[in-house]
Amino acid sequence: MKLTFPHMGNMYIVVRGLLEYLDLEVVVPPKSNQKTLDLGVKYGHEFACLPLKVCLGNLIEAYEMGADTMISAGGVGPCRFGLYAQVENNILRDLGYDYDLFVLEPPDKHLGQFLSRLKKIIGNKSWYKVIEAIRFAYQKAYGMDIIEKKVQYLRPREKKVGTVDAVYAHVLDTIDNAMDFHSLKDAISLGLNKLEQIPIDREKEVLKIGLIGEIYTLLEPFVNHDIERELGKLGIEVTRSLYLSEWINNHLLMGLYRNDNPVPYAELAKPYLNHFVGGHGRETIGYAIHFANSGYQGLIQIAPLTCMPEIVAHSILSEIRKEFDIPILTLYVDEQSGKAGILTRLEAFVDLIQRQSEFRRQIK
C-alpha cells in the first residue's frame, strides 16, 4: 500500500510525518503548480471550485509516481468539500486510475467510522503507536505555525528582501526531515534562532492586514498567488484567521490541546451570523471583527469562486466594513486568476490603507 494525499500548504509535512512514524509508505505529489492545475481543469467538473481541481491534479500526479491508496478528509455542512473525495475517486476511476479510497470524516461527528477507517490504514499497529504518531504529527504542525508566525512578522522588516524566505525554506526542510520528538524539538529551536539572527529594521512602521476566508485558499500559496510573500514585499505584516495546527486541534483532535489565547469567533460573529453555514464562513466573520478590534489596518478575504460559505460571509462583511471603518478586499480565485491581476489589486489596496493610516495620524 502506497499512500498519498492532496496538498494544502505545508500540510504534507504533517501527514508524511504521521504516516512514516507508523512505518507506512508515502508518496508525496509534487507541490501544486501549473501542470497540476491544468490536469485538474482538464478532467474536473467545470463548475467545481478550485480546490477540487487542484487536488485532482495532485492525485493524478501521485498515481503516476506509484501511489495506489488515497487519503482524504471528509466534511459536513453546506460546503461541498465533504463530497469531493468521492467525486475525485469517480473521475480517477473513469480515467483508469485504480485508487483505493479512505475518507476520514470529522471524528466529532463520526468517531466510530473514523477509528474503523483509520484501523484499515494502519493495519496491526498498536493504538499506543498511533497516538504517539498523532502527537508527533501535531507537534510538527504546531512547530511550523510558530515558525510561520515569526516569518510573517519578519518579512516586512527584513533589510534584504528574500533573506527570510530562504531561511524559512531551509527550516521547513529540517522540520520535514525530523524523524523523532528530539530531532523535531531541535529543528524548531534552531529554526527560530536562525530567523532571530536575520537583520531587520526594528524602527520601520509596518501596517497589519488580517487574512480571512476559506482554509484551502488561505494555506495553499499556489492558489492564492503567494499572497503572504507578496504583501511582505509591500511592507505589510499579515496574520491569518486559520493556522494548520489550530485547525487540526479543533476539528480532528476535538480540542485536546489547550489554546492559551483562543479567539471566540463564534461569539464575535453572533450579532451578524449566529449559526454554522459550512466551511469557514463563521470564522471569517468572527475573525474580521477580532482583527478590526485589534487595530489592524485592513482585511483581505480569500476564497474559491462559487464557495458558498464565503459568499454568505462576503455579504455580511460590507456591514462590518461600515461599522468598524476598516477597508476590506475580497479575492475570489479560480483557474482564470492571474498573478499580475492579483498583484495590481494588492498594490492598490496597500496604497489605500497607507493613505488612510496617514490621514488618521494627521487628524489626531
Q: Any idea what the CATH number is for the domain that residue 228 is in?
A: 3.40.50.11900
pTM beyond 0.85: yes
Which letter does DSSP use for residue 251 in this model? I
Per residue in 197-236, pLDDT (tens digit) is 999 999 999 999 999 999 999 999 999 999 999 999 999 9
Domain boundary among 161, 185, 204: 204
Mean pLDDT value across the chain: 92
Domain boundary among 188, 204, 220: 204
Does residue 338 have a pLDDT over 90?
A: yes
Q: Which of 103-107, 188-192, 285-289 has the lowest mean pLDDT?
A: 103-107
Residues in Cβ contact with 157 at an 8 Å cutoff, skipping those fewer than 6 apart: 200, 201, 202, 204, 206, 237
Q: What is the pLDDT of residue 76?
A: 66
Which cell is 107 given? 471524528
Note whether 65 and 212 are same-domain residues: no
Q: Any idea what the CATH number is for the domain that residue 34 is in?
A: 3.40.50
In a domain, 124, yes or no: no
**End-to-end Cα, the chain, rounded Å:** 65
Note whether 53 and 157 are same-domain residues: no
Note whether 175 and 30 are same-domain residues: no
Per residue in 235-256, pLDDT (tens digit) is 999 999 999 999 888 877 877 8
Does residue 109 have a pLDDT over 70?
A: no
Note whether 89 and 189 are same-domain residues: no
Note whether 355 and 240 are same-domain residues: yes
Confidence of residue 35 (pLDDT cuts 50, 70, 90): very high
Note whether 164 and 236 are same-domain residues: no
Residue closest to 7 by CA, chosen among 43, 44, 51:
51
Note whether 186 and 220 are same-domain residues: no
Q: Which of 13-22, 32-41, 64-73, 205-214 has the lowest mean pLDDT?
A: 64-73
Residue closest to 89 by CA, chosen among 52, 126, 122:
52
The amino acid at 292: A
Share of the chain above pLDDT 70, in %: 96
CA-to-CA distance for 178 and 131, rounded, in angstroms? 18
CA-to-CA distance for 309 and 273, rounded, in angstroms? 11
SS3 (DSSP) at 230: helix
Note whether 337 and 222 are same-domain residues: yes
Domain boundary among 186, 204, 222: 204
Note whether 11 and 77 are same-domain residues: yes
In a domain, 131, yes or no: no
CB atoms within 10 A of CB 129: 14
Note whether 216 and 333 are same-domain residues: yes
Residues in Cβ contact with 270 at an 8 Å cutoff, skipping those fewer than 6 apart: none
In a domain, 221, yes or no: yes
| Helix ranges (DSSP H) in 155-180 | 163-177
CA-to-CA distance for 247 and 58, rounded, in angstroms? 22
Q: What is the pLDDT of residue 110?
A: 60
The better pLDDT of the pair 115, 341 is held by: 341
105 to 29, 112, 295: CA distances (angstroms): 22, 10, 37
Which residues constitute the domain of residue 146? 136-204
Q: What is the mean pLDDT of residues 350-355?
A: 96
The number of distinct structural domains making up the chain is: 3
Residues in Cβ contact with 357 at an 8 Å cutoff, skipping those fewer than 6 apart: 207, 297
Note whether 214 and 349 are same-domain residues: yes
Residues in the chain: 364
Note whether 214 and 199 are same-domain residues: no
Q: What is the pLDDT of residue 121?
A: 84
